[in-house]
Amino acid sequence: MSQYLSIAVELTAGLVILFIVTKAQGKTQFSQITPFDFISALILGELLGNAVYDREVNLFHILFAVIVWGVIIYTVELLTQKFAKARKFLEGEPNIAILKGHIKYEALKKAKLDINQLQCLIRQQGYFSIQEVEYAIIETNGLVSVLPKSAFETPKKADFNMSSEQPELPINIILDGEVIYHNLEENGIEEEWLKKQLSKQNISRYKDVLFAEWVPNKSLYVMGYEKGKQ
């Protein structure tokens, strides 16, 4: 009887600790699972599972192991928030699978996807033909984000015989106070232009910008840090 009670206590304590650790790591554990998050979840589950059925392991061993692992994961999450290079290495980066209506096979190969899998992911976004898609981006969590061609937007302009405009993909210019220079080069944007656009919004330093996005033929969209945060 005491053995069953011990298992019940260990499972309950493990559940509470796992819940606290998961909540501390943020909502990515629930919805936006990256490869690193997946490994984290597996390890936490293994720690608890092995500990419950190993008689040489007591409740304090479980608590110690889960807390140490939680601290490690929390530290890694902080690193990915503070340093863009660490974020790219640990979480990966989005890949454009369809660019201006054309499939990029190298991106599919890199993501280990075939055409059928891409079609399946696109259908999950409500588009049943690749011909309807202008841009498709494979996100770090394995899902695909879709920007449809103008004629297939909701509501579909084709249904109303409205003139169609060429959709444009928004370009990240600044993330977490750092300029994405290769995006500037690929889109022929001069850094002087960027500085002037920021100056119009009374911003003189890149590090004051949390996020800046540019869409061709539109003004630069800039979001600064909240007051008191850098």
User: pLDDT band at residue 33, thresholds of 50, 70 and 90?
Assistant: low
- Which CATH homologous superfamily contains domain 94-160? bsu07140 like domains (3.30.240.20)
pLDDT score of 135: 93
Q: What value does the mean pLDDT take over residues 210-222?
A: 87
Task: List CB contacts of 52: < 8 A, sequence separation 6 or more.
Answer: 7, 10, 11, 14, 62
Q: What is the mean pLDDT of the chain?
A: 78
User: pLDDT band at residue 30, thresholds of 50, 70 and 90?
Assistant: very low
pTM beyond cutoff 0.75:
no
Domain boundaries, the chain: 2-90, 94-160, 171-224
For residue 194, is pLDDT > 90?
yes
CA distance to 15, 78, 100, 133, 151, per residue, from 147 (Å): 40, 31, 10, 6, 11
For residue 146, is pLDDT > 90?
yes
Q: CA angle, 217 as apex, 178 and 137 as ends, to 5°? A: 60
Q: What value does the mean pLDDT take over residues 157-166?
A: 74
CA distance 15 to 9: 10
Is residue 155 reached through a cis peptide bond, with omega within 30 degrees of 0 on the bond before it? yes
* Residue range 171-224, CATH number: 3.30.240.20
